[in-house]
Chain A
Amino acid sequence: MNAILGWAVGFALAAFALGMLCAAIRLLRGPAAHDRVLALDTLYVNAMLMILTLGIRFGSRVYFDIALLMALLGFVGSAAMAKFLLRGEVMEP
């Protein structure tokens, strides 16, 4: 019964790795700066999904905390970079 969950976890990890590869190629190639920020956003979401899948794989609740922290800090990073592209500075007086 757990073989099927093991197969699903392996498939999901491979798919997330492939998705991260796509986002990394777009990150390196993207013609404009906002393309790179969007690729970075996708990259961290895929990494967070991968961490959650690893949490299922190893049956540990620690991975959930890591995923929550990644969601938090990833949003702050993406929002700060988008704000920087928009205004040229992150914090406005």
Chain B
Amino acid sequence: MIPSEVPLWAALPAALLLVAGSLLALIGSLGLLRLPSFQARMHAPTLGNTLGLACVLAASLLVASAAAGRPVLQELLIALFVVLTSPVTALLLMQASLYRDRIDGRGDGPAGY
């Protein structure tokens, strides 16, 4: 089922990039599950959001370019979009957590907030 026209020079780096990216995403998700507080959990998924996504996108780009026989650069669109939007989500979530912890009186947040 794997497209059979992918040559070795593209298949080998793509396989390495896929394994690295999936491991990074898995570590990020595990951190989301295991870390003790929200402020700590905030950091973990960004591992998969940035480097994990970059690795998988590079693998997809390599395989698509090798299969098409010309450079296929559409994957950069996703990279650009996620790089633009992921910090916005993180910022809004962090503000929301500070606000709600203060409203609910949880002593979870940093001092002074």
Q: Which residues of A contact B (CB under 8 A)?
A: 1-2, 4-9, 11-16, 18-20, 22-23, 25-26, 32-35, 37-39, 41-42, 45-46, 48-49, 52-53, 55-59, 61, 64, 67-68, 71-72, 75, 78-79, 82-83, 85-86
Contact = CB atoms under 8 A, between A and B. Distances in A.
A22 B33 CA distance: 6
A25 B38 contact: no
B58 to A, nearest CB: 11
A33 B15 CA distance: 37
Contacts of A72: 81
Closest 9 CB pairs of A and B: A59-B3, A19-B29, A8-B15, A82-B92, A15-B22, A12-B22, A85-B96, A22-B29, A75-B85
B8 A1 contact: yes
Contacts of A86: 92, 95-96, 99
Contacts of B59: 56
Nearest to A76: B85
A41 B89 CA distance: 9
Given A15-B23, A32-B100, A42-B45, A2 B92 contact: no
Contacts of B4: 2
B22 A57 contact: no
Given A38-B41, A52-B57, A2 B22 contact: no
Contacts of B12: 1, 4
Interface in B2-30: 2-4, 6-8, 11-12, 14-16, 18-19, 21-23, 25-26, 28-30
Contacts of A67: 78
B46 to A, nearest CB: 10
A49 B21 contact: yes
Contact of B32 (A22, A56, A79): A22
Contacts of B33: 22-23, 25-26
5 contacts: A1-B8, A5-B18, A15-B26, A59-B2, A71-B82
